[in-house]
Amino acid sequence: MARLQNPVDPDAGPLQAFAYDLRQLREKAGNPTYRALARKAGYSPATLSEAARGQRRPSLGVTMAYVGACGGDLDEWRLRWHDLAATETVVTAGTAADADTEAAHPIDVAAPDKSAQAEPAADAPALQPPHTRWRRWMRPPVIAAAVVVVAAVTGVALWAQRGKSDGPRGCPRSGSTAGGFTGQTYNFSRVRSAARLSAPVVRNVPAGCTLAFTGYCLGDVVTDRTSQTPDVRWFMLSGGGVMASGVVHGNPPPGLSPSSCPENTAPPTAIRLTVHQAGGGLKLHATGQGAKIVGFTSLDDTESGGSEWQQISSLTTSPTSTFETSWQPRPAAASPGQSITVAAVACLGGDGPTTVIDAQRIRLDGPLRTTSTSLSGKALEAATRAACQYP
């Protein structure tokens, strides 16, 4: 019979919470044995077991191997590892007065991981035995420094607890939603200083946090983690910073226009749709000014005798503002005297339509003929909503 690991209290500290969540990840993966994990991870069963023991921080390489073998989110756990390392740096900084060594600087979680090659081996012994480290903390010079550090850490903890009602442990306060909207983070997410993927990370937010946004701006394209569709909206937090819409569950209310934020981009202003025959079907080609995402839609007949707009394909993105999709119209559209209307719409993301649209009426009974047509009122609303809907 395999031995059970000693329980870990996730409220005992950041290291214990990290280990506890590693165990939860393994349990969600079907609770494989550490021997089975070792075959996938490339580390020994003992090393992987030690990573989830909660006694010392595992190396980044071991953590990534453990998470990957369990099918976890590597980006999320890489950020969590850096956050844990930064927390330990703050707590152990109080030993500098006694050790006569320069305190290490907190790890910048926004920077690429350049320290992995310099990391000690996963099974390397601790720098000093736990009981020795404890005695060093008990010395008078260290106690004074520790009081300052503990006070600072306690302040951070109290700040995090203020947002406890807004999600899991570590969530910031949601703030006021007056004139704005709320959303919930899918996973461990980054708050950046500008609407660019290259912008500095201001802070990180755990999964499941309900956040208040004062509005949204437009920036780099980010793939939505749920629908795998592109999105250019960046949500503006009430406490400062912006977060990509693609990592948040929730959308701005209809009718809310984009605002300005650091390094935002301009909204789309024009789009042009052309239609070409391609084999037995059609090729829809759109170009636009300022458009980064486009949705295509067609007005199809329904069984009840009416008609409604249907999305032709999922949202497409292009860095050159050139978009294409293939389409097979219904057979009835080729009947004499029949026509069908298609449209290309500039979208901001899933369920983020704009009124930048080009609609064409197509005749297929003979040589392909297209005629530009305008839409307004309910027809415009229905067409843009259908083109930009989530798949």
Do residues 321 and 292 make contact, with C-beta atoms less than 8 angstroms apart? Answer: yes
Q: Which residues lie below 8 Å from residue 228, measured CB to CB, with a gap of 6+?
A: none
Residue 383 — pLDDT band, cuts 50, 70, 90? very high
Question: Which pLDDT belongs to residue 208?
Answer: 84
Residue 332 — pLDDT band, cuts 50, 70, 90? low
Residue 279 — pLDDT band, cuts 50, 70, 90? confident
| Residue 334 covered by a domain | yes
The residues pairing with 343 across neighbouring beta strands, listed in sequence order, are 297, 359
Q: What is the mean pLDDT of residues 108-118?
A: 29
| Residue 295 covered by a domain | yes
| Residue 170 covered by a domain | no
Same domain for 228 and 280? no
Q: Which residues lie below 8 Å from residue 84, measured CB to CB, with a gap of 6+?
A: 14, 15, 18, 57
| Residue 286 covered by a domain | yes
Q: What is the CATH number of the domain that holds 312?
A: 2.60.40
Same domain for 318 and 369? yes
Residue 115 — pLDDT band, cuts 50, 70, 90? very low
| Interval 146-155: pLDDT, tens | 433 433 443 4
pLDDT at 360 over 90: yes
Three-state SS string over the chain comes to CCCCCCCCCCCCCHHHHHHHHHHHHHHHCCCCCHHHHHHHHCCCHHHHHHHCCCCCCCCHHHHHHHHHHCCCCHHHHHHHHHHHHHHHHHHHHHHHHHHCCCCCCCCCCCCCCCCHHHCCCCCCCCCCCHHHHHHHHCCHHHHHHHHHHHHHHHHHHHHHHHCHHHCCCCCCCCCCCCCCEEEEECCCEEEECCCCCCCCEEEEECCCCEEEEEEEEEEEEEECCCCCCEEEEEEEECCCCEEEHHHEECCCCCCCCCCCCCCCCCCCCEEEEEEEEECCEEEEEEEEECCCEEEEEEEEECCCCCEEEEECCCCEECCCCEEEEEECCCHHHHCCCCEEEEEEEEEEECCEEEEEEEEEEEECCCCCEEEEECCCHHHHHHHHHHHCCCC
Q: What is the mean pLDDT of residues 4-30?
A: 86
Same domain for 242 and 285? no
Looking at every residue in the chain, the average pLDDT score rounds to 78
pLDDT at 362 over 60: yes
Extract the tokens encoding 44: 């020994």
Question: Which pLDDT belongs to residue 39?
Answer: 86
155 or 236: whose pLDDT is higher? 236
Same domain for 41 and 138? yes
Q: What is the mean pLDDT of residues 384-391?
A: 91
Question: Which pLDDT belongs to residue 355?
Answer: 96
Same domain for 314 and 209? no
pLDDT at 235 over 80: yes
Percent of the chain with pLDDT over 70: 74
Which of 386, 333, 325, 317 minimizes the C-alpha distance to 357? 386
Question: Which pLDDT belongs to residue 334?
Answer: 63
Question: Which pLDDT belongs to residue 145?
Answer: 43
Which of 168, 215, 165, 161 minimizes the C-alpha distance to 187? 168
The residues pairing with 222 across neighbouring beta strands, listed in sequence order, are 231
Q: What is the distance between the alpha carbons of residues 10 and 198, in angstroms, rounded to a whole number?
A: 33
Q: What is the distance between the alpha carbons of residues 289 and 12, in angstroms, rounded to a whole number?
A: 55
pLDDT at 140 over 50: no
Q: Which of the listed residues 214, 249, 284 is the one where a domain comes to its end?
A: 249
Same domain for 131 and 207? no
Q: What is the CATH number of the domain that holds 242?
A: 2.30.30.40
pLDDT at 307 over 50: yes
Same domain for 242 and 318? no
pLDDT at 300 over 90: no
**Burial annotation 149-175 (CB, 10 A radius, 16+ → b, else e):** beeeeeeeeeeeeebeebbeebbbbbb
| Residue 341 covered by a domain | yes
| Residue 331 covered by a domain | yes
| Residue 8 covered by a domain | no
Q: What is the mean pLDDT of residues 156-172?
A: 50
Same domain for 365 and 316? yes
Q: What is the mean pLDDT of residues 354-370?
A: 90
Same domain for 113 and 240? no
| Residue 77 covered by a domain | yes
Written as one letter, the residue type at 45 is P
Same domain for 202 and 122? no
Extract the tokens encoding 347: 């979208």
Do residues 172 and 163 make contact, with C-beta atoms less than 8 angstroms apart? Answer: yes
Residue 165 — pLDDT band, cuts 50, 70, 90? very low
Number of domains the chain is built from: 3
Question: Which pLDDT belongs to residue 166?
Answer: 52
The parent domain of residue 44 ranges over 14-154
Do residues 382 and 309 make contact, with C-beta atoms less than 8 angstroms apart? Answer: yes
Question: Which pLDDT belongs to residue 265?
Answer: 96
Same domain for 337 and 366? yes
Same domain for 150 and 49? yes
Question: Which pLDDT belongs to residue 97?
Answer: 38
pTM of the full predicted structure?
0.61
| Interval 49-107: pLDDT, tens | 999 999 999 999 899 999 999 999 888 898 898 888 887 766 555 444 333 322 222 22
Question: Which pLDDT belongs to residue 186?
Answer: 80
